[in-house]
Amino acid sequence: MNDGNLSPAARATTRGVCRHLVDRGYAPVTEVTLATGRRVDVMALAPDGSLLVVEVKSCAADYLSDGKWEEYLEYCDAFTFAVPPDFPLDLLPAAEGLIVADAHEAAVLRPPAPRPKLHASRRKAVTHLFATTAACRLRLLLDPPMARVLAEG
Amino acid sequence: MNDGNLSPAARATTRGVCRHLVDRGYAPVTEVTLATGRRVDVMALAPDGSLLVVEVKSCAADYLSDGKWEEYLEYCDAFTFAVPPDFPLDLLPAAEGLIVADAHEAAVLRPPAPRPKLHASRRKAVTHLFATTAACRLRLLLDPPMARVLAEG
């Protein structure tokens, strides 16, 4: 939940993407740690219950140094990259979804690629993880001393 | 999400209950509005995916003036009252769960009554509502100008 490690570009893109998603009825949560220990940049619950993962890449080096995005595909119904306006778009895989965003707005350049729906058991587990992450993080903001309990849990 | 209308006793009890729940691996969210428009005081997602509703009653008058808690039973797997230490306990239905809590800690005087599990479709809908409520509220705290979009939605 601490975005202190994000670059200003990553933070701006993440904010713009989240605004874009909320505007479309999605409920986004940033920095969601999967059961594998991997942390996705943005996970969003769609109005129909499907799960979208957004991988934010702030610059070419950020993309080239990190090939773990493919591991996320089996934890979502849809996947898309999100990058700032000055990102070299040709670097990105042409088959995957693409959003360009600054801190205020976002444009969908390519929709997420069609993908098999998650199995019911996986969807249930990921939705549970998503809900628990959002609720516990919210509680921590509303009652900061809870940090002690959550850290021990 | 605005608890400004809560009495100090209700606020303290709610906080203590949420701490108690987090301590036990539950993810609680306060003031969750159901599809019926009714708002439950605390809804919590258990580690096993079941849904607990906690109805907070701050004083006798609060309990006696409000009979809507029975409507919540069909939206949860388990139900319990939570009251402050000075609440007249004999007022409450003897069959239902009971937690006594102040702002810092809570004690379970009666566990929730056994109840039929929610149907899968209802559980899915309520879990989706819970997750969306938590995620959007969290987003609003992290990005306050989002209030405009959420208010329009």
Are B59 and B9 in contact, with CB atoms under 8 Å apart? Answer: yes
> Among A3-17, A39-53, B49-63, which is the least confidently predicted range?
A3-17
Strand A51-56 vs strand A78-83: parallel, antiparallel, or unpaired?
A: parallel
- Report chain B residues whose CB lies below 8 A from the CB of A149: 19, 22-23
pLDDT surpassing 90 at residue B101:
yes
Are B30 and B3 in contact, with CB atoms under 8 Å apart? Answer: yes
Average pLDDT for B10-16: 96
The half-sphere exposure of A67 on its side-chain side, counting CA atoms within 13 A, is: 0
CATH number reported for the structural domain that contains residue B139 in this entry: 3.40.1350
Per the prediction, chain B carries an average pLDDT of: 92
Q: What does the pLDDT read at residue B66?
A: 84
The half-sphere exposure of B143 on its side-chain side, counting CA atoms within 13 A, is: 23
**Burial category of A2 from C-beta neighbours within 10 Å (exposed 0-12, middle 13-18, buried 19 and up):** exposed
Most B-contacting residue of A142, A148, A150 (CB-CB within 10 A), to test interface: A142
How distant is the Cα of B152 from the closest Cα of chain A, in angstroms?
9
Structural domain tally of chain A?
1
Q: What does the pLDDT read at residue B1?
A: 43
Angle between helices A120-142 and B120-142 (to 10 degrees): 40
Six-digit token pair at B139?
A: 């987003």
| pLDDT tens figures, B53-80 | 999 999 999 999 988 899 999 999 999 9
Nearby residues of B118 by Cβ (< 8 Å), 6 or more positions away: B50, B51, B74, B75, B76, B77, B126
Tell me the β-bridge partners of A108. Answer: A99
The SS3 of residue B45 is strand
Q: What does the pLDDT read at residue A56?
A: 97
Q: What end-to-end distance do the CA atoms of chain A give, in Å?
A: 16
Range of the domain at B95: 3-152
Classify the phi-psi angles of B89: left when phi > 0, otherwise alpha if psi is within -120 to 50, otherwise beta: alpha
pLDDT surpassing 80 at residue A150:
no
Cα→Cα distances A27→B10, B20, B149, Å: 29, 27, 12
- Report chain B residues whose CB lies below 8 A from the CB of A44: 135
Average pLDDT for B19-29: 96
The SS3 of residue B140 is helix
- Report chain A residues whose CB lies below 8 A from the CB of B150: 22
B18/A45 Cβ within 8 A: no
Average pLDDT for A14-37: 96
Q: What does the pLDDT read at residue A1?
A: 43
